[in-house]
Amino acid sequence: MTASSRFVRAARPLRVFVASFAILTGMSAAALASSCGQNMEPGRHAFSLTSEGSKRTGVYFVPSSYDGQKKLPVVFDFHGSNSNPNGQIDRSGWDKLAERQGVVVVALQGSLDGDLPGTHAWNVPGVTTRKGGLDEPGFIRDAITMVKSKFCVDEERFFGSGYSGGGRMLSQFICSGNRDFTAAGFVASLRAGSPVENSGKWVPDTASCAPAKPMSIIAFAGLKDPANPYQGGGKAYWQYSGETALKRWAEMDGCKGGAKSKATDSFTFNSYDVCKSGARIHSYVIDAWDHAWPRATMKTEVIASAAAVMRKPTSDVAGKVQPAVDRKISTGDTARQIDAAERMWDFFQNTEGQMVVDATSKADCSVKAVSASANASETTCSQTSKVLSNPVRNVPVAEDAL
């Protein structure tokens, strides 16, 4: 039996097995929570499990350093709307970082069908009205239980990473009181509850977001994002601004004082570093950036062009090189300084420091933003638009909101 097939189990039977075995051996369930002692085949593998009576699927990545003895950290990487687990890992590059750092990566698949074949979206509680959506929080909890049962992992180092609709799903999962993640990172997606209009201003509904503990948050946003505008507005599920979301998290985390900010010629770094229980909040607001995942790579891996960005092949088009996307930003100015997965990992490890890391040390890097493809996000990165206004009235009904 392969490692992949051994991983295909139902979450509820696993919990029953763990509890029963503990009773028979006199060991506590906590002692059995992380499965150490067996090796796992390295690389990326598909899996399925049964959650609330429905078959759910996803992908996990095991680094080659995994030996079944040392407990490794875990990152759950949530895909955006109109994407899928493989597309998200390709986009974020978490598998590349995980191979270097020794991290298990898990990418789950949302229950809604996307607008493109082979793509999916999340049934986000409170804002998604499309029919056919399943219990996503229950699925996430069952997947976490499965990972703890099958891998030798450090349960104190479970982290969440979300892009676009996946980040909104991750936001609401934490807002709903789930305690599983130690810290979380968001790209074009941080929310702090459902949007409500109060005295003509859109704000987070405090009743829809009650985290169980202070949560360390790192967020990335582009000022030219037409899908989830940092300034607010957009679709019915969005509405309040990224700054409002950040401030609300600072309130919920009990942070003292206002945000400390430092502006560069291409982005602004904001931080709240004195919060309850050691929580911290960092954000990068990138000037000439849209709805793409900030990603850096060595120059030798990309086309030597100041305006072109090569799309990374996905599992659907393996082995095929897709056309380059013409971006209206200068290579090396923005994403060279900000690789979202790398910065998230530094933040998760509490090693990033108080302010911006000097970007000159990364002068040998170039932009590689993975965005529009068969696993497209809620918009394509080749779109250009003016900074959107903030329409706070006459919001369209979110009949098909993702």
Tell me the per-residue pLDDT of 83-141, one tens digit each, with 9 for 90 and over.
999 999 999 999 999 999 999 999 999 999 999 999 999 999 999 988 889 999 999 99
pLDDT, position 389: 30
CA separation for the pair 233, 164 (Å, rounded): 15
> What per-residue confidence (pLDDT) applies to 336?
52
Helix (H, G, I), strand (E, B) or coil at 276: helix
Q: Per mean pLDDT, which of 29-38, 324-333, 364-373 is the most reliable? A: 29-38
**How far is residue 214's CA from residue 396's CA, in Å, rounded to a whole number?**
34
- The per-residue pLDDT for 350 is 84
Please give the Cα distance from 57 to 48 (Å, whole number). 4
Distance CA 66, CA 98 (A): 11
**Is pLDDT above 60 for 213?**
yes
Q: Please, what are the domains in the chain?
A: 3-294 (3.40.50.1820)
> How far is 185 from 170, CA to CA, in rounded Å?
9
Q: What is the pLDDT of residues 129-180, one digit of tens each?
A: 888 899 999 999 999 999 999 999 999 999 999 999 999 999 999 999 999 9
* 3-class DSSP state of 184: strand
The predicted structure's pLDDT at residue 370? 39
318 Cβ neighbours under 8 A, 6+ residues apart:
none
Task: Report pLDDT digits (tens) over 52-73.
Answer: 999 999 999 999 999 999 999 9
pLDDT recorded at residue 288 = 93
Going from the C-alpha of 122 to that of each of 127, 253, 297, 400, 402, the distances in angstroms are 10, 26, 29, 12, 7
34 pLDDT tier (thresholds 50, 70, 90) = low
Distance, in Å, from the CA atom of 83 to the CA atom of 380, rounded to the nearest integer, reads: 12
- What is the spatial distance between Cα 327 and Cα 193, in angstroms, rounded to a whole number? 33
